[in-house]
Amino acid sequence: MSASTLTPEIPDIAAYLKAQERKSLLRFLTCGSVDDGKSTLIGRLLYDTKLIFEDQLAALEKDSRKHGTTGADIDLALLVDGLEAEREQGITIDVAYRFFATDRRKFIVADTPGHEQYTRNMATGASTAQLAVLLVDARTGIMTQTRRHAFIANLLGVEHCVLAVNKIDLVDFSQARFDEICAAFAALTGHFSFTTAVAIPISARYGDNVSTPSPHLGWYRGPTLLEHLETVPVDKGNTAQPFRMPVQWVNRPDANFRGFAGTITGHRLRTGDRVVVAGSGRQSTVKSIVTYDGILAEAGVGEAVTLTLADEIDISRGDVLASADDPPQYADQLAAHLVWMSEDPLLPGRPYLLKSGGKTVTASVTTLKYKIDINNDYDHLAARSLALNEIGMCNLSLSAPVAFDPYKNNRQTGAFVLIDRLTNATVAAGMVEFGLRRATNIHYQATDINKAARAALNGQKPVVLWFTGLSGSGKSTISNLVEQQLFALGHHTYLLDGDNVRHGLNRDLGFTAADRVQNIRRVGEVAKLFVDAGVIVLVSFISPFQAERRMVRDLLEPDEFIEIFVDTPIALCRERDPKGLYKKADAGLITNFTGIDSPYEPPETPELHLQTAGQSPEQLATRVLHLLRERHLIR
């Protein structure tokens, strides 16, 4: 083809590209219960909008013969279910994103899993969506997972909801069945704050009412699904909100340039605008807005930029730059909703890592206010913990303040995740409701006599000797002998024993995993107070979980915590059974007993490992004293 042949087409291409830029963009997700046809629906939309090339169609026909579930027909779900495991099982596992466009609008759609095990992936897809297509099978109607997904979509700020009553062909295109499901849907959405909520009957497999009206649905007077997606009002985003930019990176290529890189949320930013560093309160003006394409006069929502400021201000990764006229809140205690995503339950008091934007701090749930009853009008139920896929409202205490906005105001600065400190796995998604006022009204009271002065008066270095091991391992016997010897040497000591503490300070706690966490949290705080008083404190607790022992260690200075693993085989503990507890546990008279029906996580790197088999308590106590002398902790 000659150049002259191409030349006339160039203006048309340019006009086409310009038209594409002017189109609005809708981000939506498909969600619902297992096998309701989410992947098939997206495949149908791609097929109907002619975004499948001939080679893709040929490959799809081949894959349909191998993996398809639609007989001789093409299985459109395979366009989205790309993982081999998804094709083998016929379910969606990961979130799959697809782009398509019509003459009226551009779309980014997230195909999210319906299986309860992968609810976390559905939450990921909903976190950036403006609309949720909630599918139900016309034969089964609204299911538990449908209700859960609707709640999560609303909680995560999805503005519009469409109930796609799929497989309407399998109920003979029944208007009565559709009306019945619509009534249940209306009752469901009455709990939520969706801007629009409509129900549309479809057959994703055959294309009925997806992109073109169906001759089988003469009784339906509403739009097709695609028509609704093309015309639903698109929220202009958070452009009306105040400027926010979490700092992801401090850009310092040379001594002459220092910029702060991040992605803008909220209002447009212009050169000369005044900004503030949330937390420090230091203000400056925007000197320049730098991008890969050059220096801009202004930038808007979603743009990745590097800002330079007129003043030298201490700013680090994790800080938030904000509008000086409307800064975010800043607190170390938050009230928030949690969507729990871990097989291991949430345990109030257990330390986790909280990641918000670029900042990571240690956090723990101080109070679990309630959990949501998905199947009973979303009632609030009293709870001690959250299990996989449960949703609850809680208070969190953070090791350091973070900048935030309520999630309903800003989906970026109002969101966070909780991370397990040992496995580094994400265990929860959180949405901030508000900061707790008491966090800004409580301050440390300075005292004139400090820990060093008290320790000098006692003539010793304070330390926590943390004895951990199974019931019957010999912890109490050994720690008692160690205290006797320290006392004889003139040292100031105190022994905290698990059974003794449960008669007073922790008498309100049981032996569930959540109560065990709270038990150790309280004892850890008490041990810290003893150390501050200049005392050598001996703690004898089963303390079965590594996370809580690490939590106590983190409360203290690096050389103030000595973990002593009293390692006794469970067979020997059973043989000793000084309190008859193993016998009761075996008979089912005691539940949640460590080593029987509750786990014990042995220390991985204790300061002292006491293997008790074949050694007397006196010999083992001597080893503890020897370690203290080696570390110059005692005379």
Q: CA torsion 555→559→561→562, rounded to 10°? A: 160
Q: What gap in Å lies between CA 181 and CA 375, rounded to an integer?
A: 16
How many other CB atoms are there within 10 angstroms of residue 507's CB atom?
A: 8
Q: What gap in Å lies between CA 12 and CA 18, rounded to an integer?
A: 10
Query: Strands 493-497 and 536-540: what pairing?
Result: parallel
Secondary structure element (H or E) that encloses residue 74, with its range: none
Tokens of 344: 């291991």
User: DSSP character for 405?
Assistant: -
DSSP SS3 for 392: strand
Q: What gap in Å lies between CA 415 and CA 428, rounded to an integer?
A: 11
Secondary structure element (H or E) that encloses residue 136, with its range: strand 131-137
Q: Which of 342, 476, 543, 616 is catalytic?
A: 543
Write down the H helix ranges in 337-446: 438-441
Tokens of 144: 């538990």
E strand map for 185-313: 196-201, 244-246, 249-254, 257-263, 269-270, 274-277, 283-291, 294-296, 298-299, 304-309
User: What are the residues facing 137 on neighbouring strands?
Assistant: 166
Q: What angle do CA 114, 115, 120 make, to 5 degrees?
A: 85
Q: What gap in Å lies between CA 261 and CA 291, rounded to an integer?
A: 9
In three-state form (DSSP H/G/I as H, E/B as E, the rest C), the secondary structure along 80-92 is CCCCHHHHHHCCC
How many other CB atoms are there within 10 angstroms of residue 282's CB atom?
A: 16
The residues, any chain, with a CB within 8 Å of residue 627's CB and separated by 6 or more, are 562, 607, 608
Secondary structure element (H or E) that encloses residue 100, with its range: strand 96-101
The reply to whether 540 belongs to the active site is: no
Tokens of 591: 């539940």
Give the Å distances, CA to CA, from 587 to 499, 581, 593, 594: 22, 10, 12, 15
User: Can you say how many angstroms the Cα of residue 310 is from the centroid of all Cα atoms in its chain?
Assistant: 37
Tokens of 160: 């519009």
Length of the chain in residues, anyone?
A: 635
Give the Å distances, CA to CA, from 415 to 123, 156, 525: 12, 9, 30
Buried b / exposed e over 305-332, threshold 16 CB at 10 Å, is bbbbbeeebebebbbbbbbbeebbbbbb
E strand map for 344-414: 352-356, 359-373, 379-381, 391-404
Instruction: Give the phi and the psi of residue 285 in degrees, each rounded to 5.
Output: -120, 155
Tokens of 468: 């951990």
Active site residues: 543
